[in-house]
Amino acid sequence: MRRVLAAVGLSILAITVLLPLFIRSARAESGFPNRTVTIVVPFPAGGINDVLARVVADKLQAKWGQPVIIENKTGAGGNIGAEYAAKAAPDGYTLFASPPGPLAVNQSLYRHLSFRPDEFVPVTVLGAVPNLIIVRPGLEVSSVTELIEYVKKNPGKATYGSQGIGATPHLNGLMFMNLTDTNMIHVPYRGESLVMNDMLGDRVDMFFGNVAHWGPIARAK
């Protein structure tokens, strides 16, 4: 498991991912907030997107004296969560915590979206985390060079997971293939924790995930 983190600090592939908080264009009512505020997260519980949103929810609840809850609406590379947030009343009581995919990337990847990204207004950046190349425990490589050699020897066979089409790990995988002139199979999931389960079970070769989620696993092993 020491090889789980295969490329810590590799400059061209340690991509910083911003996790912003958005709100629908709206004018909040006077005395805001005076009831429950919901933060919509477009990926399952346990991933960095969910964890950061929950940290912020705790802080806001203490500050406002009102409940702040998390709703995980997953699937379609974050589009389901974005649609859910977009259909909420534009009164400031529904926030959307998301990486760039649903509002900045997916409109270029999906023919039709059931929401308009330009109706969301950024509130703040919750955090920034680097993505790393992470390989499954049974993959016999110990460096990025060896990983590239493995992928080139297995064209169209090596696999990498992501949270769905348009998610940052998916785009990082595409960039990796472009930079290394290789060909891999993309395996989309509904969330990072699901990728983790298959990675640890040696069912997916690699994942371009963030250090916050995978670092503790590597240290524990």
pLDDT band for position 131 (cuts 50, 70, 90): confident
Residue 46 CA to residue 33 CA, distance in Å, equals 27
Which CATH code is given to the segment(s) 17-128?
3.40.190.150
The whole-number pLDDT of residue 98 equals 86
Is the per-residue pLDDT at 2 higher than 50?
A: no
Domain boundaries, the chain: 17-128, 130-220
pLDDT band for position 215 (cuts 50, 70, 90): low
Give the tens place of pLDDT for each residue, 53-82.
Answer: 999 999 999 999 999 999 999 988 889 999
Is the per-residue pLDDT at 115 higher than 90?
A: yes
- Identical fold at 17-128 and 130-220? yes
21 within 8 A of 168, measured Cβ to Cβ: no
The whole-number pLDDT of residue 11 equals 27
Which CATH code is given to the segment(s) 130-220?
3.40.190.10
The whole-number pLDDT of residue 14 equals 38
* pLDDT mean over 131-148: 89
Return the percentage of the chain with pLDDT > 70, whole number.
Answer: 81
The whole-number pLDDT of residue 16 equals 43
The whole-number pLDDT of residue 220 equals 56
Mean pLDDT of the chain: 83
How is 70-110 classified by DSSP, letter by letter? EEE---GGGHHHHHHHHHS-SSSSEEEE--SIIIIIGGGT-
